[in-house]
Structure 1
């Protein structure tokens, strides 16, 4: 019987997120693709982007990343599904224009034979409440 604690799962998913972030900063579409399911989608302010469209942007050089901050937050353990919600930052270029983001991130992971894969990412711009 698996007696994983929430803390263990949080550490495990944060390690996956860090490795995934390194693949993104390396602008390596093949490595990025190993962290997501075939039907992965990312939802942001511009709508829904499919896995293939995201990887095509990276492959073409239209989307590059210079930094990817560590995502820290809370984890919900649903057995073979886990949800990581936290805040993350990134910098890079999209079609030649520099960007910097500070976002709330929700990643939904499914556990498969090869470990955790992300099936859904939702991004919401963060704002400071002062």
Structure 2
């Protein structure tokens, strides 16, 4: 793994820690002002809407783990794809997910900032029955 790729893996770990902190300020340190979350349920969601949901307690993350599988850097752009699981609460109801996650980053001022997160449910062949 190159130094740039390791820095990207470290940025991804910091992003995960920020998300389970449920602190919008910490999350903002890891994302760009234009960050977008793409979900299978709602499609693209502006980052501001996600942060507002977290700030208001509508969305809470208790756990978030990710196994990075593919890490690539192309100049000032990089991406991390891996399998992630998380638990928490949405509108007072417990939630949990097992997903394939791709985070696309841009290097700015020597730091990696996430520009886009794309989520896809992790479905095994047995789940398709």
> Contact (CA 8 Å) 1:10, 1:74: kept in 2 or not?
no
Alignment partner, residue 16 of structure 1? 11
Gaps of 5+ in 1: 1-5
> Contact (CA 8 Å) 1:73, 1:86: kept in 2 or not?
yes
User: Number of residue pairs matched?
Assistant: 125
1:38 and 2:33 are equivalent in the alignment: yes
Alignment partner, residue 99 of structure 1? 95
Deviation beyond 2 Å, 4+ runs, structure 1: 6-11
Within-5 A mapping of 1:1-130: 6-45=1-40, 46-130=42-126
Instruction: Please state whether the residue corresponding to 2:66 is helix, strand or coil.
Output: coil
In the alignment, the residues of structure 1 paired with residue 87 and residue 67 of structure 2 have an alpha-carbon distance, to the nearest angstrom, of 14
> Contact (CA 8 Å) 1:68, 1:89: kept in 2 or not?
yes
Instruction: Please state whether the residue corresponding to 1:127 is helix, strand or coil.
Output: coil
Question: Normalization by structure 1: what TM-score?
Answer: 0.90
What is the CA distance between 1:61 and its match in structure 2?
0.2
